[in-house]
Amino acid sequence: MYTVGGRTFPVVDAQVHIWDASPHNQAAPAGESYAIDLLRRHRELDGAGVPPHEVERVSERSLNRDVFGDGHVDRAVLQPVVLGELFVLGFSPLEWHAEMAGWMPDRFVLSGELDPGGGQPGARGLTPRVRRFDLRGLTLCERGRPAGRLALGDPWLRTVLARCAAAGADVVHIGVGPSTRQAPWRRPEPPVGAVRARPPVVPRWAEPVRAGSARPVRAGAEARVAPPGFDTGEFCELAAALPQVRFVLGAGCLPTRRLCELAVMPNVHVVLSEILPWTGSQGFAHAFGALLAAFGADRLLFGSGYPMVRPGRLVRELAGYRFPGELVARYPRWDDAAVAAVLGGNAARLYRIALPGAVPAPGSRQGAVSRAG
């Protein structure tokens, strides 16, 4: 819960990861590069006073302290990412999430994982897993290593997603995961039709685990690792074919202008994780205002991307956010109703989470305090 201006807001963090990027789990030079880049971006965004080992490997202690304690979060949605070619035991697999959820009951909602590039055989057994783990969503991402673009146009993918939605996993996340991208307004938009170059593939004989050593080779660790993209045309066809599925896109997966164009599809939502660390900048004001105008407050979700960024600061800054004076009339009103929807109400509706209602804080005056801008 977070209390401000006499109101108490339930908080649902729609993007939390339980990952292990520590050296013993790095399977190849690219695994070390990925882990180093995560630590570098964490220092850029939220590095003050956090020991590196707490970022490399998430523990029950750090979750309780940073997310459910100081982070004001009531419930969290766990997003899995295996990256099996980069990490020996997987980076952030569903099984770890389910184990942590068992230790900390009534805290988490679980999402599953599906690699569109793995073909239909890679989706076998997914529907039973939805029922077994009570999955509320699926994350579309590559199981191996980030290599290019997600293929969203295959007919089998629509069939699998429809079956999983019928089984209970009716929220699909695309472009939502551990990202080392810069904020959308800080990177140039690629030319139309440009194809991301595939990173070099490490020969099997050079991979430390295959070569008999668990020590990663320090090569190419300075490279910034970016997650894969997707074709917006294929995505639009997929979303139109599955109106019963709610799609959640990362705020940084596309340039803001292109992302706002997808708002015409009523089953498309956006999680704000990748832009929230810059709430004090003009870039954030324009990006957030554009998303708020395009999608409305009822289709935006709060997310921290923890452990990349601890949620407490993001909750406080978003709840108390005001548009700069010259932009107040340009964008929709950011009032208490919008704050309540984005901080927790929308995610609770999408993921079927029962949350207590917002109530006045003890000792404070009754009613909401409106904040224009």
Q: What is the pLDDT of residues 312-340, one digit of tens each?
A: 889 999 988 898 888 888 989 888 889 88
Decide if pLDDT at 70 tops 80.
no
Please, are residues 368 and 5 in contact by the beta-carbon 8 Å criterion? yes
Domains of the chain: residue spans and CATH: 2-185+207-350 (3.20.20.140)
Least confident of 8-17, 44-53, 56-65, 207-216: 207-216
- pLDDT, tens digit (0-9, with 9 covering 90-100), for 231-251: 888 899 999 999 999 999 988
- pLDDT, tens digit (0-9, with 9 covering 90-100), for 119-172: 777 778 888 888 988 899 998 887 776 666 778 888 888 998 999 999 888 999
CA 211 → CA 206, 242, 256, distances in Å?
Answer: 6, 45, 44
Decide if pLDDT at 26 tops 70.
yes
Please, are residues 328 and 363 in contact by the beta-carbon 8 Å criterion? no
pLDDT at 186: 59
Residue type, 317: E
Residue 247 DSSP label? E
Decide if pLDDT at 40 tops 70.
yes
Decide if pLDDT at 189 tops 60.
no
Decide if pLDDT at 195 tops 70.
no
**Residue in 153, 315, 313 with CA at minimum distance from that of residue 230:** 153
Average pLDDT over residues 301-305: 92
| Structure-model confidence comparison of residues 97 and 192, the more confident one | 97
| Res. 51 pLDDT band, cuts 50 70 90 | confident
pLDDT at 364: 39
